[in-house]
Amino acid sequence: MSLLARVARRASPQYNRFLTRGVATIQDTVAECVPVWRADIKDLRGKHGDKVLCEVTVDQAIGGMRGIKGMITETSLLDPEEGIRFRGYSIPECQKLLPKAPGGNEPLPEGLFWLLLTGKIPTTEEVKGLSEDLAKRSQLPAHAKQMINNFPKDMHPMTQLCSAVLALQTESSFAKAYLSGSVNKMDYWSYTLEDSLDLIAMLPEAAALIYRNKFKGGSHIAPDLSLDWGANYAHMMGYDDAEFIELMRLYLTIHTDHEGGNASAHATHLVGSTLSDPYLSFCGGMTALAGPLHGLANQEVLRWLMKFKEDLGDKEITPEAITEAAWATLKSGNVIPGFGHAVLRKTDPRYMCQREFALKFMPDDEMFKLVSTLYEVVPGVLTETGKVKNPWPNVDAHSGVLLQHYGFTEAEYYTVLFGVSRALGVLSSLVIDRVLGLPLERPKSMTTEWIRQQFETS
């Protein structure tokens, strides 16, 4: 059977309904949603296509397009007061409703992927089937593994990850189907989904190889395909502690998605709008994530925390000592990283679920005590300056300390963890983009002179 026939067959509801255990696959579930979603977007445009979503100021055009409502992302919505909702569900609701590993308390990331892509809470059996499917797809092609193993040891882990994803592009079903010229554009979504599943399946081994090569002398650990996606990733990196595996499941779940306007999600969407396949599109998103203002933020926070603790010296970690040190940091012209968010106006729910994890498993950890005291003190200090709209901690203020507690001290690698997680969100969105037939993204740009002429010419 040809590659195109195999992909079409796997995406067919008639085929998938009769798989093992009689449980619907994710392809089956998406296929059932396709006509509904297409009818809905057609109805929306027919009824409201000429309505105005927002006005755009010069400040917004110059200032990174902050707050401009100009794109569709179905997987999540960020409310300034509530925080992120994945398909309408808050993080605490996801922690409660999504399937968990036997004996575990944190959601399986595969379950959130199912929710993001389909809008439906999956059953335990559906998530088990998805985990098994990802395991079957997870073997890296020989050329990609060889390329990863040949990377210079001083190459940044994110550069390695981006390069590895490009090497995996040889496996793209979408690229082969498009090149053949025999695929109807209404079926692009099924090939995009197959590519997304393959890429998500292969990412943990690729990322683990990068970790072991750079930090563990090149000694590799074979995958254990009996484990769930997050647990196998932790295992291949060399971490089999049950608490750490639970942390990985939590981490890989909460970093998946944060609306479509953040740099990595938007870059993936933008590249994908050209009909680049999921491998090329995701690589675009990862190059954005590698930037210091985006995915590198958590290691920047950790570096600052360690320096902050060093500067405290023998002082006891008390609210008074932290307040004094925080003011000294600000008065020296520096910022306190990990606090504030472009959209949020309250404590990031992703911070709170990590805090709850720490309170449960590591309440006496010295670095956690520091983070916890900062949480009590810094918002008041920042509010007192009168310059900060959101003084509350974001997700980056906590994640590094949790990883450090379990001996995962290689901060340079943390953004790779973020990237593996973010694949679940941005690739879900990419599939939906193809279902809805969203067009090539092409906003209008202006020169500063044009703006002056609009407002200064009498």
Going by C-alpha positions, the residue among 141, 248, 190, 133 that lies closest to residue 11 is 190
The two structure tokens encoding residue 275: 């009909």
Q: Which of 224, 165, 226, 227 is CA-nearest to residue 196?
A: 165
Lookup result for tokens 């020296």: 332
The answer to whether 393 and 376 are in contact (CB under 8 A) is no
Answer whether 255's CB lies under 8 Å from 416's CB. Answer: no
Length of the chain as a residue count = 458
Find the helix or strand (DSSP H, E) in which 85 lies. strand 83-86
**Continuous H helices in 313-410:** 319-331, 349-361, 366-385, 399-405
Give yes or no for a contact between 233 and 173, defined as CB atoms under 8 angstroms apart.
no
How many CB atoms are located within 10 Å of the residue 408 CB? 22
Residue 90, strand partner residues: 85
Angle of helix 229-237 versus helix 124-137 axis, rounded to 10: 40
Nearest to 111 by CA among 101, 98, 102: 98
Separation CA 234–CA 227 (nearest Å): 10
Identity of the residue numbered 189: W
Please give the Cα distance from 339 to 308 (Å, whole number): 15
The sign of the dihedral angle between the CA atoms of 252, 114, 83, 47 is positive
Q: Are strands 76-79 and 83-86 parallel, antiparallel or unpaired?
A: antiparallel
Active site residues: 294, 341, 396
Residue 306 CB neighbours (<10 A): 16
Helix ranges (H only) for 169-241 are 173-180, 188-215, 229-237
CA-derived radius of gyration, the chain:
23
